[in-house]
Amino acid sequence: MSAGRVYSAVPRVQQPEEQSDPGTYGQSTRVGARRVLGGLGLGVVLLVLGLAIKSGPLTAVGTGADSAVAGLRNGLFTLGAKAVTLIATPEMWAVLGLVIPVVLVVLRRRGQALRVFGVLIGTTAVTYVAKMVVQEHRPPKHLWLETPSSESFPSGHTAAACAVAVMLIILAGPARKRAMTIVGGIFVALVASSRVYLGVHYPMDTLGGALSCVCATVFLSGLAHLPPLRRWLLVLDNHSRR
């Protein structure tokens, strides 16, 4: 057998960045840029929504909705609402946003670790900034079933629940992503409802919480499509498969 044939019989190992068609990088960059701008635009919408909710008419509507929900309270519903809201404590998930990625790195799931870190910490950051900018007061104190610890808009618990839902989708295998999307959606709805039920948020606050997560997720998804982060994620994902 000739040396040329021996050489051709040995497959060349591709580098991670070579595993995708180089021609797709231009399209990926355009998609990434659009998503980054979309995330920034959603951030503006979030702040405008929060400032609008502080107006007298919308505050009155929100208070009326909370009062109506308060009339439906009973012992079982209250216990369930407090349990659900405890699971979505934003401070807890901010800490887990550091712990879970470390665990994933140990498990050699580095690409997922970076994505989970981005979603959990990014959502926390967007929520915090929006709270500081909007500075919305909580609903009337006589409606509270628990004592809140920060500004009302956006709902930190709802934002955390939405981030958890995105995390479940990231960690799920291809065959389970649809199921995790449904589970995550139900979880977000339960947490959002519990915050209104407990009298510590207006309904629009929970919408703002979900929007905080969407804003962070869209923005970070855009960054993930831009070089060099896209190449870096390909390298991390490639190492995770070994």
Closest CA to 97 of 84, 78, 114: 114
Give yes or no for residue 127 having a pLDDT over 60: yes
pLDDT in tens, 19-53: 445 555 678 889 889 999 999 999 999 999 999 98
CA 14 to chain centre: 34
Give yes or no for residue 4 having a pLDDT over 60: no
User: Is residue 227 assigned to a domain?
Assistant: yes
Closest CA to 196 of 142, 139, 151, 237: 139
What phi and psi values does residue 228 have, to the nearest 5 degrees?
A: -90, 0
Total domains in the chain come to 1
Give the residue numbers spanning the domain of 45.
Answer: 28-240
User: Is residue 2 assigned to a domain?
Assistant: no
| CA dist., res. 53 & res. 139, Å (int) | 12
User: Is residue 183 assigned to a domain?
Assistant: yes
User: Is residue 107 assigned to a domain?
Assistant: yes
pLDDT in tens, 88-123: 999 999 999 999 999 999 998 988 999 999 999 999
User: Is residue 220 assigned to a domain?
Assistant: yes
Report whether 169 contacts 181 (CB < 8 A): yes
CA 143 to chain centre: 28
Round to the nearest angstrom and report the end-to-end CA distance of the chain: 33
